[in-house]
Structures are given as C-alpha cells and as structure tokens.
Structure 1
Amino acid sequence: MSGVLGNHFVTQIGILVNDVEKVSAAYAEFFGLEQPEIIITDTADIAQTRYNGGPTEARAKLAFFDMGSLQLELIEPDHQPSTWRDYLNEHGEGPHHIAFVIEGMQEKIMLLEGKGFPLQQKGEYTGGRYAYMDTFKELKVLVELLENDKQ
C-alpha cells in the first residue's frame, strides 16, 4: 500500500520557535553539530505566499539541521498572517509539521482536500514549492508537501 501521498518517508520535521538563533545554538550544542546559517524566506513577490486563500507578506527566519535521512527545520515567523504565526500564537513553541517530498503538487493538494484536509498555506522557494495541508484534527500536526523542480 502506497498511502495517500504515494510516499511514507518523512523528510523533515518543522518546529516553531520564538528565537531561532537561541534554539539553533541549543540544538547545535546538544547534537555536537555546527550551528547552521539562519536564512530568511523570500519576499512576497518571489515566494507568492498564500495563507487561507489570500496573499500574505509573511516571512520567517529558518535554520536547517540535516540529521541523516531527516531534516529538522526551526522556524521563527514574523508577525504577518501565516500558518507559522497563528500556530505559534495558539500552540506555543514546538512541532508544526512533518514534510514529505511529492510529485504533482496540484494533484496532491486536490487529493488531500477531497479527503477533508484543506490547503492552509502554500508558496515558492528557490528550486521548488511547498504546501501546508491542515491535517491537525486527525494527525495532531500539519502535513507539508514539498515538490522540488526536476534538475
């Protein structure tokens, strides 16, 4: 059985934080890893971020730890409307999503929406696109779809 997404390999866990520099330093020390460079998501004109159906200027500071087959993503959102900001306000710091690499973003979004998991936020990044599906009620975490452009 291939599951809803055709892939059951979790590629990333996203964790919301209030201070990405502080928390990434703590992770680096805990795991004996180098503290990663903090990156900032693209501006709205590039990212084309949409949240709950409308455009948003939301941006976030990100830090990525590659942990073998799994990546940890630390996310410090700005105060613009986004899944990150609303989730952090509502639930506090902690896990936000589990991510899967998929092919056929539009088809997968439509498939999940048909199963009662609405699209919450989507956007572009250099080399691909993402979509957060609201699976919280059933899975207690959001599912992020990642589609990378073919090289």
Structure 2
Amino acid sequence: MTIDEQPAPPYAIPVEVPVGKTPPVFKDTLQIGIVVRDLDRTMRTYIDDYGIGPWTVYDFNDETVDEMMVDGEPRGYSMRLAVAMVGKLQWELIEPTSGDTIYSRFLAEHGEGVQHIALDVENYQDTVARLSALGRTSTQSGRMGGVTYSYFSTEKDLKVAIELYSRPLN
C-alpha cells in the first residue's frame, strides 16, 4: 500500500485550502542542498551508514565557474561539492572553501544543514523576473558549462533558499 492509498488517520483534520489564481512558479523539485564543514567525512558517513552514493565531486572556483556573483556584486569564491541521486532527487553536499558566500554565512549562522532546494521552472528568465517583482533577490550565482545557477532570498516566505538553473541539468 502506498502512502496515497492509506486512509487518513482519525486525528487528521481534512481542510480544503483553496488554490489561488496564481499559476505555479515551480514544476519539480530537483535537488536538496546541504552545507557541510568536511565534504569527505560527510560523504563517508552517507556511504557507510546509509548506503547513499555513488558521489560525483566537483570543484567550483574562478577557473571552473564564470560570472561569479554574491549579493549582486562580482566576487570570487570556491567550494567543493558532491552530488548523488536518492530516488529521483539529487542530494548535494557543499563545503565552502574560500570567499564570503551564502554557504559560509549559513555555516556561521546555522551550522551544517539544509541550505537550499533547487527547483525546476518552465522558463528561467521569466521566473527570475517574477521573483524580482516579488522583491526576492539573487544572493549568489555563476555560470558553469553553459548553465547559469542562481540562488534567491526566499527564506522568509518559503523558509528555505531556492536555486534555479537556466536549463535542466542532465
């Protein structure tokens, strides 16, 4: 029996929340981004204790990423990151290695943990414009291999930062 087929428990209170006329902004959840202090140690825990892997590791720095921006200003930074699929969802572990970034700030303010969720959108440019109209700014971005990634300041309303890609990653 799947979770959708299970009857509602007696303590569940069904409430119909009407959906507004605003069309959905996001199509799918692509990734959960977790900031860590030690990428190698964390990957080892995921592999040894939970069987999560294999991991692909990337170095993001000024030699591999173009158009690096933080808070709307050109700024270099570096990080090591690793990605693995858990079902249909990509898990990303991020270890900031230099620069004042959203990752290093997250570690200083919250410690290790979920920092962002990456979401798929119908049209990247239209969604960026829509988020800007809502007052959500790009906090960090870059361009790698022809793909632009951008994080947005949605923590106050969505309770987590979101990341968008200029096109879906394969």
TM-score interval for Structure 1 and Structure 2 normalised by the shorter chain: 0.7 to 0.9
Paired residues, number:
149
Structure possessing the higher radius of gyration over alpha carbons:
2
1:101 corresponds to: 120
On the 8 A contact 1:42/1:125 being kept in 2, the answer is no
Which of 70, 75, 78 is the equivalent residue of 2:89?
70
> CA separation in 1, counterparts of 2:25 and 2:107?
27
TM-score (norm 1): 0.87
Which of 78, 84, 99 is the equivalent residue of 2:103?
84
On the 8 A contact 2:124/2:167 being kept in 1, the answer is no
1:4 equivalent to 2:25? Answer yes
CA distance 1:150–1:63, shift in 2 (3 Å):
closer
1:18 equivalent to 2:37? Answer yes
1:32 equivalent to 2:32? Answer no
1:126 equivalent to 2:145? Answer yes
CA deviations over 1:24-53 (Å, ceiling 9, x no partner): 111112332445242211426742110111
On the 8 A contact 1:24/1:35 being kept in 2, the answer is no
1:104 deviates by 3.2
1:77 deviates by 0.6
Three-state SS of the structure 2 residue aligned to 1:109 is helix
Which consecutive aligned stretches of 4+ in structure 1 deviate over 4 angstroms post-superposition? none
> CA separation in 1, counterparts of 2:103 and 2:75?
12
> CA separation in 2, counterparts of 1:14 and 1:34?
15
1:57 corresponds to: 76
> CA separation in 1, counterparts of 2:169 and 2:56?
25
> CA separation in 1, counterparts of 2:45 and 2:70?
30
Say what the alpha-carbon RMSD is for the aligned residues: 2.2
> Unpaired runs of 5+ in structure 1?
none
On the 8 A contact 2:64/2:144 being kept in 1, the answer is no
1:150 deviates by 9.4
On the 8 A contact 1:17/1:74 being kept in 2, the answer is yes
2:158 corresponds to: 139
The structure with more helix, counted as a fraction of residues: 1
